[in-house]
Structure 1
Amino acid sequence: MPSLSIRKAYVDVFDDQQLHYRYFVSSEKRNNSTIVFLHKSASSSVSFERLMLHYANQGFSCYALDMPGFGNSFDPTGEQANEMEAEGTAWFTKIFLSALERLGVTKAKFHIIGHHSGAALATQIAADHPHLVASICQIGATTIGHEERQRMRERFLVPFNEPVEDGSHLEKTWKYLGTMGASDDLQLRQREVIDHIRAWRGRMLIYGAVWNQDAERLFESVRCPILVLCARDDVLWEHMGNVKVVRPDADTGIVLGANFSVDLDWEGVVREWDSFQARHRE
């Protein structure tokens, strides 16, 4: 692993609210490209540190943003939660683009690597702002039809770890992450438990937006190159077939690591993304 350092900082997005992010800005002339990383629920930008270090060493500038309600970013107010319900995933991408503009990232096209909920946000940004996005990589197949999205809503849109006095929500979170693919890596599971406990409310807000997103229409309208990766034991694997139905031209690949591919198989993600970029440079 390269001896580079990922930095952490905040950017103002409202008068009194700040978005937290991790970043590395490259000064090397061999690569002027930027990658923006968007995390899954209910993780945070820390999940991308391995990928960020790798691509920083390749000369990329890298930015990983904590969604509102996650990591060290601000918690949305009740009024903002109502705005999310009305605007859906577009509310989140509006906040991200405001932050990226203030950081100077939007001066040129950038690549997006999004994981699960972050993949759905990547589609929204690419569809709404084609002049800004060079490519998107979805880790987890989020192109899901209406009926399937409602089924996912019933399964995941429940506050399973809302804080309770006896602390039983802590054990529930630990057990939940074991079933999601983090059972064999104690350090990863501990980190994710902390993130999931912190983001119990934010998880509900982003999931509500994602399951209301017209994912197939948005995915169909994306004009930049697309790569979709998924592990066979990822909860979204069953939707991989729909990717080619909606976009026969999309690139696809298989990685490992269940719902934690960006940690447990970051090298597989690198292999697939590098190959994808090479194909689209030809």
Structure 2
Amino acid sequence: MRKGYVPSSFGQLHYVECGDAAGEPVLMLHQTPRSWTEYLDVLPLVGAERRAVAMDTLGFGASARPEGPFSIELFADAAEELADALGLDRFHLVGHHTGGVIAVELAARLQDRVASLLLSATPFVDDEKRRTAAARKPVDHVDPVPDGSHLLDLWNRRRGFYEEGQEAALTRFMVDALSVLDRVEEGHVAVRAYEMDRRLPHITARVLAVCAPGDHYSLPALEKFAAALGCETRVLSGGHVPLPEQLPGEFAKTVLEWTAAG
């Protein structure tokens, strides 16, 4: 794996890549509040056949953190700048959860520059989701307390998504979440405010929407994406919210097959 930074109008953006730098590029975008490590085991598998790049979303991981409010459009601005800086003239795009929402915006604005789009467990944001956003409970917000019990609270909020033996992946989540604890919820807020349904008609790339069978948050979105885009959908063999970490082999195989489809 090769780690690097590129300059941007926001500050430095961090990324990690595997594979031949001259190979067909695949840009992978992670969920909130994660970092590139969500694709830790996927990168070398995709990199065996492609130029696999995973970036830290603006405001997360080791990428620059703007002071102003987050938005999907802002995240996409930074991703576009990274793609430009890395010379990704035409590339495949993969996004998981929040990363999928960012990928929708990026594909809508770049159109034919995106060779294909793979949306993994991506929420479908429509008028209903925006209307009810204020009433939804925080996903990852915890208030720090002197005895540190908020750390266990944060762990337990995500514990049900991971099986026994997957504590290393959950620990990576904790590292990512704690590094942005003061703004940990803002990515979720940005998703709920995004006008996705108005951007979907601008996508020209081939689209595949996939989801883990245990991810009941995002599974219903497959039918909505199929109806809105006429795209293919697929339910993978297992997993939950942290699908790329739980089934890296199947996830990478799906990416490679889809990006090779034409």
TM above 0.5, yes or no, is yes
Partner of 1:10: 5
Asked whether the equivalents of residues 125 and 194 of structure 2 are also in contact (C-alpha less than 8 Å), the reply is: no
Shift of 1:217: 2.3
Q: 1:272 to 1:149 in 2, by over 3 A?
A: farther
Alignment of 1:190-229 (within 5 A): 190-229=171-210
Q: 1:254 to 1:74 in 2, by over 3 A?
A: same
Shift of 1:238: 2.5
Partner of 1:165: 146
Partner of 2:57: 67
Match of 1:263 among 220, 223, 245: 245
SS in 2 for 1:163: coil
SS in 2 for 1:237: coil
Partner of 1:22: 16
- Using the alignment, how far apart are the partners of 2:133 and 2:161 within structure 1? 15
Worse-matched range after superposition: 228-237 or 68-77 = 68-77
- Using the alignment, how far apart are the partners of 1:162 and 1:73 within structure 2? 24
State the Cα deviation string for residues 132-179 of structure 1 (Å, max 9, x = none).
Answer: 211111111322322134446643546622433332221111101102
Alignment of 1:1-282 (within 5 A): 6-14=1-9, 17-26=11-20, 32-58=23-49, 60-77=50-67, 80-81=68-69, 84=70, 88-105=71-88, 108-151=89-132, 154-157=135-138, 160-181=141-162, 184-234=165-215, 235-248=217-230, 250-255=231-236, 256-278=238-260, 280-281=261-262
Q: 1:74 to 1:111 in 2, by over 3 A?
A: same
- Using the alignment, how far apart are the partners of 1:259 and 1:158 within structure 2? 13
Asked whether the equivalents of residues 42 and 200 of structure 1 are also in contact (C-alpha less than 8 Å), the reply is: no
Shift of 1:205: 2.3
- Using the alignment, how far apart are the partners of 1:159 and 1:182 within structure 2? 19
Q: How many residues align?
A: 260
Worse-matched range after superposition: 227-236 or 176-185 = 176-185
- Using the alignment, how far apart are the partners of 2:123 and 2:200 within structure 1? 9
- Using the alignment, how far apart are the partners of 1:150 and 1:50 within structure 2? 37
Asked whether the equivalents of residues 159 and 201 of structure 1 are also in contact (C-alpha less than 8 Å), the reply is: no
- Using the alignment, how far apart are the partners of 1:206 and 1:251 within structure 2? 27
Partner of 1:3: none
- Using the alignment, how far apart are the partners of 2:162 and 2:39 within structure 1? 17
State the Cα deviation string for residues 101-150 of structure 1 (Å, max 9, x = none).
Answer: 12222xx2100110100000000000011132111111113223221344
- Using the alignment, how far apart are the partners of 1:11 and 1:277 within structure 2? 25
SS in 1 for 2:141: coil
Q: 1:65 to 1:202 in 2, by over 3 A?
A: farther
Q: 1:65 to 1:252 in 2, by over 3 A?
A: same
Unaligned runs of 5+ in 2: none
Shift of 1:223: 0.7
Shift of 1:259: 0.5
TM-score (norm 1): 0.84
Asked whether the equivalents of residues 120 and 142 of structure 1 are also in contact (C-alpha less than 8 Å), the reply is: yes
